[in-house]
Amino acid sequence: MKKQILLIIGLLIGFASFAQLFPTKNYLQNYFQWPVGTAPGIVANFGELRPNHYHMGLDCRTESRVNLPVLAAADGYVSKINIDPTGFGRALYISHPNGMTTLYAHLNEFNPEIENYIEEQQYKLKQWKVQIEVPANVLKVEKGEFIARSGNTGGSQGPHLHFEVRDTKSDKVLNPLLMGFPIEDNIAPVILKLAVYDRRYSTYEQTPKIYVLKKINGVYQPLGGKIKVNTDKVSFAISAFDKYTGSTNQNGIYRAILFNNDKAITGFEMDSISYDETRFLNAHIDFKTRNNGGPFLQYLSPLPGYQNGIYKTAKGENGIITLNDENVHDIKIEVADAQNNLSVLKFDLVKESVSEKKNTSGLVFEPNTINIFENDKVSFYMKDSAIYDYFHFKYREAPNALGTAYYLQDDDVPVQQYYPIKIKGNFNIEDTGKIEMKMISHGRTKFKKAVYKNGWYESSFRDFGMCQLILDKTPPVVTPLWGFRDGVDASRMNSIAFSAIDNTEEIVDFTGLLDGQWLLFSNDKGRTFTYKFDKYCPPGEHSLELIVKDLVGNETRKLYRFRR
């Protein structure tokens, strides 16, 4: 009985502490049913940390298989259909009478009614990649109705169903685990590491001190128990994960709150995030540490350029602890999951001294203001919401086989928004439409068409890195696959496919014309272009013309004749 009372008191204290910053959620419970026709289970939860974005829903288990039945979570109507080679792949949106919309992504075939509808729209628009708004009275569904088969389409890395719940009016994505879905969770989050920052400096221009934690009598503590600093401005980040009963997956945490001498001063909560905000993950984590192969470290206080989003700070606070004396500060960090299983990290913080601040010089980029760089070769400007913390901008030039490469900062500093870059170029006037701008950042190469004006070529990116102009006159290479060739008898084939490869890896248009009429080629994951034989290709002799274009309009045409 005594243990039960202590447990209840502990829970009440936990609830009271987070209520100081975050209001209680009042979502309808058990309105939605589980959306997959199999035992409920997830491999990823809402708010998990991914490259450049939060995971915005639940990844529902499909037993590592495809083609399991996907079911409407509640009564409503299909309001949008999305088909894309990346991202959600084949996806359905269902709007419900309660003011919410559910999303079902990475699907294979839709049910026959939906499949017929979207195919008609694709042929009408002459596009495979589409996002169709569906009128409310066209595709009505009932709770539990079969709507599609699960798959692995789009950006999926393995069979599963990505499922979201959104506020229909605001399009904010809500945390489904706050709505009574049958996912058992009696396990509190695990806190692995604590990172300490000297906030006299930019987070991009320091390496935090990392403390390994141990759990003593149910409370996490840094080794030694006390943290001494040589600064009067401190902030923290944590590395943590959550687990669910019966699962070994390491999922994301829901909430973390920082207390200074028992006062809740700042924290974050994973709920109600729009896709316009999801890239702010790069301001929520120690981007530099992660970019260099380190762990995800989640800041407990917002960076100065973080706008709205998941953070709350107490009135009069900015999330940074100011140490005006040598008194010991009682620091507590509470970490919870969506079921309010709670873990606590405690330690003493004391200012030992204040070290002399390092002298730095050079061009400073600051958040919440427009930042500009220009010389006689390169220029760009960034909007006031493009960066999250200040830094000293670095620039250099280096020749290579293609000309001059321009290094803009380095990729340890993230960028929130696209920004226009201009590079001076000296190409023949007849080649101005064939120039691309290349950006190498985070180990990836991206290409954009560069627009010419008065000797300058302009394009836009949202990364820092190595930037360069290239001349591209090479058309794509198109190759038939799966035994298809000119003159073939395709009577026993179910489908035909082609690879289309460009030297810049950017195919912007793939058009197939069967006897002069547009044909529906799919391109899931951007790998191959595939046509499944259907009513649009009756028995007989046929001609198939392919027209393939790259980023700057270089074109390849192929003509094949075949029999069905």
The residues with which 71 forms a beta bridge, in sequence order, are 146
Torsion, CA 82, CA 417, CA 47, CA 166, rounded to 10: -40
- Give me Rg for the CA atoms of the chain: 27
Rounded distance between C-alpha atoms, residue 145 and residue 114, angstroms: 12
Hey, how many other C-beta atoms are within 10 angstroms of the C-beta on 82? 20
Rounded distance between C-alpha atoms, residue 266 and residue 20, angstroms: 10
- Report DSSP state, residue 431: G
How would DSSP label each residue in 504-543? TS-EEEEEEEETTEEE--B-GGGT-EEEE--TTS-SSEEE
How would DSSP label each residue in 126-185? T-SSEEEE--TTTSEE-TT-EEEEEB--TT-SSSBEEEEEEETTT-PEE-GGGTT-S---
pLDDT in tens, the chain (564 residues): 444 444 444 444 444 555 678 988 899 999 999 999 999 999 999 999 999 999 999 999 999 999 999 999 999 999 999 999 999 999 999 999 999 999 999 999 999 999 999 999 999 999 999 999 999 999 999 999 999 999 999 999 999 999 999 999 999 999 999 999 999 999 999 999 999 999 999 999 999 999 999 999 999 999 888 999 999 999 999 999 999 988 888 999 999 999 999 999 999 999 999 999 999 999 999 999 999 999 999 999 999 999 878 999 999 999 999 999 889 999 999 999 999 999 999 999 999 988 888 877 889 999 999 999 999 999 999 999 999 999 999 999 999 888 999 999 999 999 999 999 999 999 999 999 999 999 999 999 999 999 999 999 999 999 999 999 999 999 999 999 999 999 999 999 999 999 999 998 889 999 999 999 999 999 999 889 999 999 999 999 999 999 999 999 999 999 999 999
Rounded distance between C-alpha atoms, residue 520 and residue 128, angstroms: 6
E strand map for 357-394: 364-365, 371-374, 378-382, 391-392
Lookup: tokens for 257: 């709150």
Give the pLDDT confidence score for residue 551 in this predicted structure. 95
Rounded distance between C-alpha atoms, residue 284 and residue 416, angstroms: 12
Give the pLDDT confidence score for residue 247 in this predicted structure. 86
Sign of the dihedral defined by the CA atoms of residues 83, 87, 92, 95, in that order:
negative
Find, among 155, 47, 51, 87, the residue nearest to 463 by Cα.
51
Rounded distance between C-alpha atoms, residue 418 and residue 192, angstroms: 35
How would DSSP label each residue in 471-502? E--PPPEEEEETT--TT-B-TT-SEEEEEEE-
456 and 424 in contact (C-beta within 8 Å)? Answer: yes
Give the pLDDT confidence score for residue 19 in this predicted structure. 61
Find, among 72, 39, 37, 38, the residue nearest to 143 by Cα.
72
Give the pLDDT confidence score for residue 15 in this predicted structure. 47
Find, among 493, 529, 525, the residue nearest to 512 by Cα.
529
* CA separation, residue 331 to residues 222, 234, 285 (Å): 12, 12, 20
Find, among 28, 73, 78, 255, the residue nearest to 164 by Cα.
73
Lookup: tokens for 506: 């950017």
Contacts of 127 (CB under 8 A, 6+ apart): none
Contacts of 74 (CB under 8 A, 6+ apart): 31, 32, 33, 94, 96, 98, 102, 143
Number of separate helices (H) and strands (E) present in the chain: 4, 45
Sign of the dihedral defined by the CA atoms of residues 483, 484, 486, 492, in that order:
positive
Rounded distance between C-alpha atoms, residue 402 and residue 379, angstroms: 20
- Classify residue 169 by burial, with Cβ atoms within 10 Å: 0-12, 13-18, 19+: exposed
Given the structure tokens 């069979």, which residue do they identify? Answer: 159
Contacts of 446 (CB under 8 A, 6+ apart): 438, 439, 440, 461, 463
Determine which helix (DSSP H) or strand (DSSP E) holds 349, and give its type and residue range.
strand 342-351
Give the pLDDT confidence score for residue 5 in this predicted structure. 46
